[in-house]
Structure 1
Amino acid sequence: MGGNPPDQARSGAFTQSARVPVLDVNVTPLTRDQLLSSVATAIGGGRRLTIAGHNLHSVYLTRTDAQFRRFYEDAELRLIDGMPLLSALDLTALCGGRPRWGSRHRLGSTDWIPQVMHLPSVRRIVLFGASEASNRQAVQTLGERAEQTELLGIPADPWNPEDLDAVAAQIRAFGPQLLLIGMGMPLQERLAAALRACTSVAVIATVGGAIDQLSGTQSLAPRWIGRTGLEWAWRLASDPRRFAGRYLVEPFQLARLILRGAA
């Protein structure tokens, strides 16, 4: 496979890191089963694991936000959550005569959250983010799929920074194995770093709009659209006011930053 030789991630799971050419970021190309195995290994071994997802928006933020960039540098797993990144890896692999990574290495948050609840080691999960109504619905939806898993919902839209200590206290009292933070970039990454420092949760994952998607508040594109690389168009059409800047303006800003760095 393409990328660098496999190495032992801090989670203790056998993972493989790869550098995305041109975009110049490190990713951890994993299939869903490999990710679930990494989560189980971390929890079973009493280790800490931070899971982030990389797409063009996060790549742009790594170049414009130093705190955000440090979070991604420190995260043990950086999933591929965007077809442009996967395509860049595949092109490099083909040019080097190596097998392509393949679409199964593209993992959005909703591709693995429903399955992680069935891991025997995951007994308690916190869903942190979204509005009160959306969070409550997501907790109900996931709870119906895995009744043996206890869920705690902590709404966070709107977010008040003064609530951080109270949220941390709730999490410590609940004692989850998995904390899912869905608040959008870069706020969720800042909170993930803060909560990792003041709680003992084994696995913390930043999951963007996954809570809203699981609750049905935000439409979720069919997975076949994701495989074609056109999920951005689905999102843009479903909420143009929210996504116009990200998909129609930010890519050109990122290209300018890349060209400026190469000059």
Structure 2
Amino acid sequence: MATGQDDGFDAELTAAHIYRVPIIDKMMEIFTLLEQGPDQEPRIAHIVAETRLSRSTVYRILNTLVHHGLVYRTSDGGYRLGLRLKGLAASVTINLTLEDMLATVRPALKILSDRTRATSKFTILDQSLAKVVALEIGSDPFAPTSRLGSTFDLHAGAASKLLLAHAPAAERKAVFNNPLARHTDTTIVERADLEAELATIRATGISFDRGEWSGNVHAVAAPIIGPGSEVLGALSVTYFPKPDEAQFLLHVTPILREVASDVSEQLARGITTMTSPGLI
């Protein structure tokens, strides 16, 4: 049953779709095609086939983009992105605030928890600790609870280790220069073991918590990537240990990766207005 909040969210999305310029949408389809195949230099016929736009529309858009230096036409009739885009890109300044991120992350947490029935969290690096700044409690009766503002050591926990794995070298060095506190039997407290774990996280893009902070809580985390390819935070799913945990992770991990990737893409494109009323 739809709620007033759902109606408001749908209306916002509908308005965002209505108040757009169709020709710019078509232009972006062409840009996307040229971006995906920088070494192919497709001709008009290929662009028409791939975008399903009319030949006359493609021709007019390309002529305009070539005129402004945004697209380059090769001597054999192919097209590639133009050098002027480099200048435009160089002038872009990225200044994402926490509220900018949360505007995109909060609806994503709702989606993640709805699809997994588990508790989901968004965690950032804050003063050498991992800090929970947004969360959504899962609908499963046995979903763990959590608390906004909770902080955790960087060497214990799925989100914590992911943030540490992608932290600046000085931050990692500061962690390693201090004794690694043991919170449970599975906490990684040996430097060599932790460094190996962080390398695995960087290689796989996923981090697991096997009860390292609390023996009764497990988790899996994926990174949120910013417009400058930096890791802005960690999206995680927390749950109580399960007899069928391997099967649970096979179900949850792809969903987590998908949602984290969607959030990263939205942030890269500057979409930070898709807020959903009533979320944390």
TM score, norm. by length of structure 2:
0.26
The structure with the larger Rg is 2
| Between structures 1 and 2, the one with greater helix share | 1
TM score, norm. by length of structure 1:
0.27
